[in-house]
Amino acid sequence: MDCRLKTTLVGISFALAATLAAAQSRQPPADPAVASSEWAKGNRVLLGVTQERLGFSAQWRFQRSGNGDIVLDLEETRAGQARAGALMLVANGVLLARDVPLERGRELDSFNGPLLMLQLVLRLLERAVPAGPASIKREMPIDAAEHDRAVKVSTIGADGEFLAPWRVTGQIGPGADGQVRFELQFVSANRSPRGAPYETRIVGIWQNASPPVQLPDTMPLRGWRGFRIKTVVTARGAMNAVGLGTSAAMAFANIGEVRRRVADWTDQGARRARWQCG
Query: What is the model's pLDDT at position 278?
Result: 54
Query: What is the model's pLDDT at position 134?
Result: 95
Query: What is the model's pLDDT at position 242?
Result: 66
Query: What is the model's pLDDT at position 1?
Result: 31
Any idea where the domains of the chain sit in the sequence? 225-277
Query: What is the model's pLDDT at position 253?
Result: 98
| Per-residue tens of pLDDT for the chain, all 278 residues | 333 323 223 333 333 333 223 222 333 334 444 445 899 999 999 999 999 999 999 999 999 999 999 999 999 999 999 999 999 999 999 999 999 999 888 899 999 999 999 999 999 999 999 999 999 999 999 999 999 999 999 888 788 999 999 999 999 999 999 999 999 999 999 999 889 999 999 999 999 999 999 999 999 999 999 999 987 776 677 776 666 878 889 999 999 999 999 999 988 766 665 655 55
Query: What is the model's pLDDT at position 66?
Result: 93
Query: What's 32's DSSP letter?
Result: P
Query: What is the model's pLDDT at position 61?
Result: 99
Pure H helices in the chain: 107-128, 255-277
Give yes or no for a contact between 259 and 242, defined as CB atoms under 8 angstroms apart.
Answer: no
Backbone angles phi, psi at 273, to 5 degrees: -65, -40
Q: 242 has which bridge partners?
A: 233
Nearest to 244 by CA among 235, 234, 232, 226: 232
Q: Can you say whether the dihedral through the CA atoms of 190, 191, 193, 195 is positive or negative?
A: negative
Report the C-alpha gap between 269 and 274 in whole angstroms.
9
Query: What is the model's pLDDT at position 155?
Result: 85
Query: What is the model's pLDDT at position 230?
Result: 87
Report the C-alpha gap between 204 and 47 in whole angstroms.
4
Q: 50 has which bridge partners?
A: 57, 201
